[in-house]
A and B are shown apart, each in its own frame.
Chain A
Amino acid sequence: MRYRRTKTAMTLLAGLCAGGFLCAPASADELYELGEYLAGDCTACHQLEGRAPGIPPITGWPVESFVMVMTAYKEGERDHALMQNVASRLGDEDMQALAVYFGKQGQQE
């Protein structure tokens, strides 16, 4: 298998400026596409538009807060077995990508 995830992760993060803003357009593109794919894992529950009981909306957040909340689930600081399980399968670059993707969804609404 040739996913080369670790190297790619480093490349991705190298393309990010402080505060999570993107400065290299090629990476931005790739990060967004990664976010677009990974978001499918979330939209089984979280709706992009519309609201439902039980599952909070997650669009339009600042990148940093999004990453902070996901990290809190991953590290068990925020309690919720389901979301902890979700976060456990995400690496740093995955969280960045999701933060950017869902952040943009909010702006479009």
Chain B
Amino acid sequence: MDRKFTRREFGIMAGVAASTLAAPAIAQGKPKVVVIGGGPGGATAARYIAKDSKGAVDVTLIEANARHTTCFFSNLYIGGLRSFDSITHGYDKLASDHGINVVTGFATSVDTAKRIVTVAGGQSVSYDKLVVAPGIDFKYEAYEGYSKEVAETIPHAWQAGPQSQILRRQLEAMDDGGVFLIAPPPNPFRCPPGPYERIALVAQYLKRNKPKSKIIAVDAKDKFSKQALFEEGWAKYYDGMIEWLPLNITGGVKAVDEKGMTLHTGGESFKGDVINVIPPQKAGAIATAAGLANETGWCPIDPFTMASTRAPHVYVLGDSSIAAAMPKSGFAANSQAKACAMAIRAELTGSRAFEPRYSNTCWSMIASGDGVKVGASYKATREKIASTDTFISKTGEDAAMRTATAEEAEGWYAGISADIFG
């Protein structure tokens, strides 16, 4: 009994993505895979397709920037615990170790009928299979007065890189006694525990350096991920410094006043010396432009392969996708990429495909040497990616356990970085 799918079976499984295997482009030579986006989703997919097909597939990675600063651990940079360099990675190993063609440029359009991606500057690249993993974009218009330009003074720092550096510099420049105002976004968004980890690590920085300062969080939600763990930690380490205001108290941010350094809600207004607005989110612009997003602003996928349900020969990974029970995390994007890489190789080269497995673990730092985690296993069903088994750190854990968890997070960062970038 062979575990290998016949191409027909795979076709049924992948829905729209499968019908035209004997595409002319494949007949002419090596099959071509193009990947848009070199984050945890895209870079992992490119690396695994190239690595495991051992040269049988031609892989091109189109990434806007020469280097990628990971969002994960960017809160540690903002809190002064990590250098910017230590969370920034190049793509040289993907090219040298696996023969991936790395194109540094912004993909501006996708023609899913002709199977061509156009890059800013005019270069076009054709594909047999396309992986789209551009991460998120922001709904700036949700808050009056907020925009990409205003984000230069009132950063979101929710795409790591220059935005994280702006926020770090502002915190360093803030006077003791200042107010750090943060506006966590509504669901669904990238990294559900992220805003609360940021609050903790900024609090640690302020407590050590500017202890009279305050943090006010004007949330767009009434509850949040790992809430009990964060609230316990905030009270333990930063008692009296943090004020978290749920949606039902303020009504949420309505407008951003850049000149007045103020956030307006339905009722009260809040002034900040440093303001961090994390706006509502949607799939990366290129995914929307390619017609891969539905009315929710995110991209529906086949749970078994991550194939788009809206365009043939296209797959969507990571934050842009609707992965149901899986959160928008780097870990999840990396996990999805491996299932997708296997499915793409099977279609293009006839290699074996096994039942996909998905998993996630998200660590958060509450203070230096105090880490917590939440994680889960998932399986693909016809309807969605469903969670099968979960775990979470407990309140009241002893210091040794928390130190071990914090150390695991460090080990994970090293491991997943190597898994993504080589």
A77 touches B (CB below 8 Å): no
The answer for the CA separation of A67 and B13 in the assembled complex, in Å, is 32
Do A50 and B414 touch (CB < 8 A)? yes
B418 nearest CB neighbor, chain A only: A47
- B388 an interface residue at 8 Å Cβ cutoff? yes
Instruction: Assess whether A89 is in contact with B391, with CB atoms less than 8 Å apart.
Output: no
Query: Judging by beta carbons under 8 Å apart, are B411 and A52 in contact?
Result: yes
Identify which of residues 1-48 in chain A touch chain B, using a CB-to-CB cut-off of 8 Å: 1-5, 7-8, 11, 30, 33-34, 36-38, 40-41, 43-48
The interface residues of chain A lying within 8 Å CB-to-CB of B419 are 40, 43-44
Contact B391 A85 (CB under 8 A): yes
* Contacts A82-B373, A88-B389; A50 near B418 (Cβ below 8 A): yes
Contact between chains at B354 and A37 (CB < 8 Å): yes
> Within B345-379, which residues are at the interface with A (CB < 8 Å)?
351-352, 354-355, 357, 359, 361, 373, 375-377, 379
Q: Closest CB of chain A to B15's CB: distance in Å?
A: 12
Give the number of chain A interface residues (Cβ < 8 Å): 35
Q: Which of B79-87, B162-170, B226-234, B330-338 contacts A (4 or more CB under 8 A)?
A: B330-338
Find out whether the CB atom of B338 lies under 8 angstroms from the CB atom of A40.
yes
For residue A59, give the distance in angstroms from its CB to the closest CB of chain B.
13
CB distance from B412 to the nearest CB of A (A): 5
Query: A3–B377 Cα gap in the complex (Å)?
Result: 19
* CB-based contact B377/A54 at 8 Å: no
In angstroms, how far is the closest chain A Cβ from the Cβ of B253? 35
Q: Which of B149-157, B280-288, B402-410 forms part of the interface with chain A?
A: B402-410
- B52 and A36 form a contact (CB under 8 A): yes
Cβ < 8 Å to A, chain B residues 372-422: 373, 375-377, 379, 382, 388-391, 404, 406-416, 418-419
**A residues less than 8 Å from B373 (CB atoms):** 82
* Any A CB within 8 A of the CB of B259: no
Q: A94 → chain B, closest Cβ, in Å? A: 9
Among A8, A33, A82, which residue has its beta carbon within 8 angstroms of that of B375?
A82
Report the Cα distance A50→B414, complex, angstroms. 9
**How many Å lie between the Cα of A11 and that of B66 in the bound state?**
47
Complex-state Cα separation, A81 to B361, whole angstroms: 11
Given that A4-B3, A85-B375 are contacting pairs, would A54 and B352 also be in contact in the complex, using a CB cutoff of 8 Å?
no
Please state if A45 and B352 are interface contacts (CB–CB under 8 Å).
no
List B contacts of A54 (CB < 8 A).
404, 406-412
Q: List residues 185-217 of chain B with CB under 8 A from any CB of chain A.
A: none
Q: Are B355 and A89 in contact (CB under 8 A)?
A: no
Q: Measured between alpha carbons, how far is A53 from B338 in the docked complex, in Å?
A: 25
Q: Verify if A69 is at the interface (C-beta below 8 Å from B).
A: no
Contact in complex: B342, A44 (CB < 8 Å): no
Partner of A44, one of B13, B304, B351, B416: B416
Asked whether any CB of chain B lies closer than 8 Å to the CB of A84, the reply is yes
Which residues of chain A are near B389, meaning CB under 8 Å? Answer: 85, 88-89
| Chain A residues with CB below 8 A from B379, complex form | 89
Interface residues of B in 76-134 (CB under 8 A from A): none
- B331 proximity list for chain A (CB < 8 A): 44
Tell yes or no: B295 within 8 A of A by CB: no
Is B22 engaged at the interface, CB distance under 8 Å to the other chain? no
Quick check: is A68 within 8 A (CB to CB) of the other chain? no
Nearest Cβ on chain B to A42's Cβ, whole angstroms? 9
**Interface pair A11/B1, CB less than 8 Å apart:** yes
Give a binary string over B293-314; 1 marks a CB under 8 Å from any A CB, 0 the rest.
0000000000010000000000
Whether a CB of chain A sits under 8 angstroms from the CB of B5 is yes
Neighbouring A residues of B354 by C-beta, 8 Å: 3, 33-34, 37-38
Query: B247-266, CB under 8 A of A: which get 1 and which 0?
Result: 00000000000000000000
What is the bound-complex CA distance between A3 and B406, given in angstroms? 38
| Interface pairs (13), CB distance under 8 Å | A33-B352, A40-B419, A41-B338, A43-B418, A44-B416, A45-B415, A47-B415, A50-B418, A52-B415, A53-B411, A54-B407, A55-B415, A85-B375
Instruction: Give B residues with C-beta under 8 Å from A.
Output: 1, 3, 5, 9, 13, 48, 52, 304, 331, 334-335, 338, 342, 351-352, 354-355, 357, 359, 361, 373, 375-377, 379, 382, 388-391, 404, 406-416, 418-419
